[in-house]
Structure 1
Amino acid sequence: MAFSPLVDELVESLRCLPGVGQKTAQRMAFHLLEKGRGGGERLASALSGAMTGVRRCERCQNFSDTPVCGVCENPKRNNGTVCVVESPSDLLAIEQAGGYEGSYFVLMGHLSPIDGIGPADIGIDRLVARVGSESISELILATNPTIEGEATAHYIADRLDGVDVLITRLAHGIPVGGELGYVDGFTLTHAFRGRKPLVE
């Protein structure tokens, strides 16, 4: 059954969101039209503002509504340490966990030749240039522990071979509170490779 063109367009537009299929999009659209018109107008305004006003930080590529983001402009951050992440959500997770006081570089993806995503698409040249032009002592490769994330980390390390910078990788392994019987083989392999003395 087809609704009016405006309703159909709203439903189809909502389907662009990850995990939102036809039924969920219809439920969202009907809710906005039946009970949430004020929220819908606020959502439309916020979407319009974000789509036109949010850009990438000139220094780290994170989302920002100014040329340089708040993290990069913060004088309390340690600019000698740069954490490389795949997405803004990874950066947010690290910030919410607390403890890290360095700066970032957001790739906005990972290398994936099968999808046509190469080094230029995720800004690796910009990262290499930044390492060469700034006084960076440590580069933390915090890409995801997937095949693509690992390949991206190794590619970055290869590109910086010979550059005077310490390149580290986030530890991977068994999560706190986890049980060995429920851990996948890939994670166990990383845990064995990353083992360290109990008493240092």
Structure 2
Amino acid sequence: MNDSNRDIEALIDMMARLPGLGPRSARRAVLHMIKKRGLLLGPLAEAMQRVADTARECVNCGNIGTGDLCEICANNARANGQICVVEDVADLWAMERGKAFKGRYHVLGGTLSALDAVGPDDLRIPRLLDRLPGEDVKEVILALNATVDGQTTAHYIADQLGDSVTVTSLAQGVPIGGELDYLDDGTISAALRSRRTF
């Protein structure tokens, strides 16, 4: 195998590691990009390099942005006394697609899991508790996945918050075992509007 073929195979192998792409889909995607290299491959490589150089985690909420604060945390209009707690950035982006929530977010970076030895200090739970007084938070919305680990995490956070703020969770529309990133925008919006006390 010559060097150019090795490079193509290496690109296919890297693409196959992406969620939702297996080896066959990765091969098709790479072949399509090579055929349209002027329109796709070069601009994609440049965009990926820019993101690699500038993307960082928001120091406040854990979202991904290009500055120390993400656009949501930097927007004073979003400081409405509500924080929506999600497991990861994909869930935050799913909530934003629904355009129903106008407050701020907090990304935990996962869920509590005894099997995987993930405890509260392994997540951004202490940072959440630190944010509440400084941001004058009145309501914390627990928008965690309806899995065993997600609900365990929600109960733990609710216990930590006690009566200091109103604690709500998403209601109808989120199926048991469902994950926010896979729900449609209408379902997320309905669930947010119908939230209930946790």
TM exceeding 0.5? yes
**Residue 166 (structure 1) aligned with residue 166 (structure 2):** yes
Residue identity over aligned pairs, in percent, reads 39
> What TM-score results when the alignment is normalised by the length of structure 1?
0.77
Q: Deviations over 1:22-78 (max 9, x none)?
A: 111111122222333431111111112212211111111111101111111112123
The match for 1:191 is none
Contact 1:110–1:122 (CA<8 Å) still a contact in 2?
yes
> Matched residue of 1:72: which SS?
helix
> Matched residue of 1:50: which SS?
helix
In 1, Cα distance between equivalents of 2:87 and 2:143:
8
Q: Structure 2: which amino acid aligns with 1:167?
A: V
The match for 2:64 is 63
> Matched residue of 2:140: which SS?
strand
**Whose RCO is larger (CA < 8 A, sep 6+)?**
2
> Matched residue of 1:67: which SS?
coil
The match for 2:32 is 31
The match for 1:124 is 125
Q: CA shift at 1:132, angstroms?
A: 4.3
In 2, Cα distance between equivalents of 1:92 and 1:6:
33
Contact 1:57–1:63 (CA<8 Å) still a contact in 2?
yes
User: Are the structure 2 counterparts of residues 122 and 22 from structure 1 closer, same or farther at C-alpha, using a change threshold of 3 Å?
Assistant: same
The match for 1:155 is 156
User: Are the structure 2 counterparts of residues 98 and 8 from structure 1 closer, same or farther at C-alpha, using a change threshold of 3 Å?
Assistant: closer
Q: Which has the larger radius of gyration?
A: 1
> Matched residue of 1:113: which SS?
coil
In 2, Cα distance between equivalents of 1:174 and 1:72:
26
Q: Give matches, 1:72-91, under 5 Å.
A: 72-91=73-92
The match for 1:142 is 143
Contact 1:85–1:104 (CA<8 Å) still a contact in 2?
yes
Q: CA shift at 1:109, angstroms?
A: 2.2
Structure 1 stretches lacking a partner, 5+ long: 176-193
The match for 1:93 is 94
What is the RMSD computed on CA atoms of the aligned residues? Answer: 2.5
Q: CA shift at 1:8, angstroms?
A: 1.4
> Matched residue of 2:115: which SS?
helix
Contact 2:79–2:135 (CA<8 Å) still a contact in 1?
no
Q: Structure 1: which amino acid aligns with 2:118?
A: I
In 1, Cα distance between equivalents of 2:96 and 2:152:
25
The match for 2:110 is 109
Contact 2:146–2:174 (CA<8 Å) still a contact in 1?
no
Q: Deviations over 1:113-165 (max 9, x none)?
A: 3234332333111111112443211111111111121111111112223x511
In 2, Cα distance between equivalents of 1:134 and 1:19:
38
Contact 2:141–2:167 (CA<8 Å) still a contact in 1?
yes
In 2, Cα distance between equivalents of 1:136 and 1:169:
16
Q: CA shift at 1:88, angstroms?
A: 2.4
Contact 1:145–1:172 (CA<8 Å) still a contact in 2?
no
